[in-house]
Amino acid sequence: MRLFLPVLVSLAFVLPVSAQVKVPESQAEISLSFAPLVKEAAPAVVNIFANRVVQQSESPFRGNPMFEELFRGFGATRPRVQNSLGSGVILSDDGIVVSNYHVVGMATEIRVVLTDRREFEAEILLADQDSDLAILKINSDTPLPHLDLRDSDDVEVGELALAIGNPFGIGQTVTSGIVSGLARSGMATGNARGYFLQTDAAINPGNSGGALIDAKGQLIGVNTSILTRSGGSNGVGFAIPANLVARYVEQARAGNETFTQAWAGIYGQAVDYSLAEGFGLSVPEGVVITSMHAASPFATAGLEAGDIVLSVDGQPVNTPAEMLFRMSVRPVGGMIEVEYLSDGEIQTVDVGLIVAPDTPDRDTRTIRGGTLAGLTVANINPAVQSELKLPTSVSEGVVVLNIDGPLARVGLRVGDVLSAINGDVVETTKDVDEASEARSRNWRIDGVRGGQRFSYRFRI
């Protein structure tokens, strides 16, 4: 095997003898260096060490792509400590810290280390896997350095940006670049519903949860992911906008352990060129509503399937993720102004921000006896639909919440929507309870997973 070693080229510049080090005397001279900015902002960016205990299977099929899923649950499990390393940002002098969920989520022990080497134990106030955000709290006898949040809606492409974090665990590192894109959505985080700022400032493993700051030292985003083929930075990194971070901090201070998300109750898709032609638009823009729940606040405001949402609170929306983001940065119970196209006319209406209603009754049941013992199911309503991230089109029926016991080996998964058991239609949790009492050796369970129908047959 041939090895190719990188060649380092050193360039030497000869300075005049008279050249002297000069203290910057104006803002223009200071802006030539990031040093004053970094000196002020860096103490608010921390290293985070998290430990979590996971159950590792001792099955001989673990890691085998062909048999691991088939023999899922086979063999004993043993606890194993899993470590993670990342970054965080202090947002207040009383110790509110933001980081990524994938850094601290489900952790049993979290240590926050400041640049002055002080260490603090941290507790999670609020964590959300979908947004990949976690709000932590550390306690200090003295006020802590912190960064101010900037209105991320004012951020423009081309602005200078610095990424500060702890890549590869080598210590705090600063990289520079610009904001290279806005309103990026569907990238690799959570359930791919994210909405990000894009930067070419180098972000590497360990930078997760670190700060993306502007030229004034304000936090414009929390670094979260990159697009890469090699595992290293290719100049395409993503940060969660500060406006969403501010909403999470607000709810964490209010005592929420989970993020309260406004419910839209609609399903939509981005308007592409072919759809734009069909709707008579000169350019592709907006999100067309393809389906809508009867209880949706958009329906209450007068919108219908086929309408195109163009903007929310004056900000254009061109993907469902942008709509979700615009709703997420406004408090539940308030209103948003929605501009939409209906029957060729542009209209504006106020839409209320509500939580997903928990009606009709979900009637959660855990089957205690019979063949289906250990299966927990619930009737689908908007709240259940929202919690499990079910498509808006799946508005009724019975969904699997948990699987314990022998039935776990059959292949059912959380989020599966049951349609029939042994040929009998399933409409409510009561139907599942009754079906479990059947005296039969041959069983068949039909349902829908991710829009695809499935059927499991087994014998007892």
Domain ranges of the chain: 42-137, 152-253, 266-352, 365-459
Using one digit for the tens of pLDDT, what is the confidence trace for 228-241?
Answer: 666 666 678 899 99
For the domain 365-459, what is the CATH code?
A: 2.30.42.10
146 is catalytic: no
pLDDT confidence tier of residue 4, bands split at 50, 70 and 90: very low
132 is catalytic: yes
Give residue 4's identity as a one-letter amino acid code: F
In terms of average pLDDT, the best of 133-137, 256-260, 403-407 is 133-137
Topology of the domain covering 42-137: Thrombin, subunit H (2.40.10)
Same fold, 266-352 and 365-459: yes
Using one digit for the tens of pLDDT, what is the confidence trace for 78-107?
Answer: 555 556 688 999 999 999 999 999 999 888
E strand spans, 354-425: 365-366, 375-379, 398-403, 417-421, 424-425
Query: Could you tell me which of 179, 195, 211 has the C-alpha nearest to residue 87?
Result: 211
Catalytic, out of 208, 296, 311, 436: 208
Given the structure tokens 């929310």, which residue do they identify?
A: 312
Q: What pLDDT shows up at residue 264?
A: 92
Q: How much is the mean pLDDT over the chain?
A: 85
Catalytic, out of 102, 146, 200, 328: 102
Catalytic, out of 87, 99, 131, 132: 132
Q: Which residues pair with 321 in a beta bridge?
A: none
Using one digit for the tens of pLDDT, what is the confidence trace for 102-122?
Answer: 999 888 899 999 999 999 999
Q: pTM above 0.75?
A: yes
| CA atoms within 13 Å, Cβ hemisphere of 334 | 11
Confirm if 206 and 169 have CB atoms less than 8 A apart.
yes
For the domain 152-253, what is the CATH code?
A: 2.40.10.10
User: Helix, strand or coil for residue 131?
Assistant: coil
328 is catalytic: no
156 Rama sector, left if φ>0, alpha if ψ -120 to 50, beta otherwise: beta
Helices (H), 148-190: none
Topology of the domain covering 266-352: Pdz3 Domain (2.30.42)
